[in-house]
Amino acid sequence: MNFIDKLSAAWTANHSLLCVGLDPDLAKLPAELRDTPDGITTFCTRIIDATADLACAFKPQIAYFAALGAEKQLEDICRYLRDNYPHIPLILDAKRGDIGATATQYAREAFERYGADAVTVNPYMGEDSLDPYLAWPDRGVIILCRTSNPGGSDLQFLDTDGVPLYQRVARLVAEKWNKNGQCALVVGATFPEELAQVRAIVGDMPLLVPGIGAQGGDIAATVGAGQTANGMGMMISSSRAIIYAQPQDGEDWTDAARRVAIETRDAINQHRAV
């Protein structure tokens, strides 16, 4: 099953637009896992077990693993997800961008080494830098458009013949690069007005929407701006707010992560059209 079909099936099966981000920071891991060789793997797989019925996707951010030399653990986590929850899409958040020859290797890293269903990429180097990912027609290619950070405006808002650059990216992807119907865009929840603009340009194309939770994006505004007519169309991503949720009233950390994931999924669903 290709990425878009798998995502659509997960939206429906779990009645959820929530994407759970896996950003393991050693300093924030439960004390009992901090100094064990497999602590990162145990942490992430337990978060996956605690939230898999609540999520439409999981999104490990590769920097958290690479910084620790924990690529082997990331491989193990990706395999665990594929083996145990094959119906939930795995998005590798890598934001790659390079010349074609190098991008070919990055695509193999994402799709062969980690077996990801989709990868995030940076469009700054243009179409030929994305072709190696687009050459994997069953995998998703999720292109940065209007990112959630304040500094995203430095370039993404630049006026290009009367059109802000992020809208030009959205149009390019929708009209030219999405030949195989495998593309999605990253649009931050911190900018609901721009999210609505992108939705108007790209039709029903899926949007990966980080920025709720720790970054403070408003869920009601996000869903209102980004959902498709059938109440789908988004992978609304939250990492730190879920995986480092504070335990309450006798909960352990997995209970706390599950509770916040349920609250987040429900808050999203409350504002969906369908």
CA distances from 13 to 7, 75, 172, 249, 262 (A): 10, 26, 31, 31, 15
Query: Nearer to ligand LLZGTKA7 by C-beta: 37 or 169?
Result: 169
The region, left, alpha or beta by phi > 0 then psi within -120 to 50, assigned to residue 203 is: left
How distant is the alpha carbon of residue 234 from its chain centre?
A: 10
Query: Nearer to ligand LLZGTKA7 by C-beta: 13 or 165?
Result: 165
Say if residues 53 and 93 touch (Cβ distance below 8 Å).
no
Of 59, 95, 176, 179, the active-site residue reads 95
Query: What type of residue is 164?
Result: P
Instruction: Give the binding site for ligand LLZGTKA7 (CB under 6 A).
Output: 21, 23, 61, 93, 147-148, 186, 188, 210-211, 213-215, 237-240
Q: Quick one: CA dihedral 44, 48, 54, 59, positive or negative? A: positive
Collapsed DSSP state (helix, strand, coil) of residue 143: strand
How distant is the alpha carbon of residue 82 from its chain centre?
A: 16
Is 95 an annotated catalytic residue? yes
Query: Nearer to ligand LLZGTKA7 by C-beta: 67 or 229?
Result: 67
Chain length of the chain: 274
Query: Nearer to ligand LLZGTKA7 by C-beta: 33 or 214?
Result: 214
CB of 91 to ligand LLZGTKA7, least distance (A): 10
Query: Nearer to ligand LLZGTKA7 by C-beta: 103 or 142?
Result: 142
Alpha helices in 18-125 (DSSP H): 31-34, 39-51, 62-66, 71-84, 100-108
CB of 148 to ligand LLZGTKA7, least distance (A): 4
CB of 183 to ligand LLZGTKA7, least distance (A): 16
Residue 131: HSE in the Cβ half-sphere, 13 Å Cα cutoff: 8
CB of 229 to ligand LLZGTKA7, least distance (A): 25
| Strand 57-60 to 18-22 pairing | parallel
CB of 257 to ligand LLZGTKA7, least distance (A): 13
Catalytic residues, by residue number, are 95
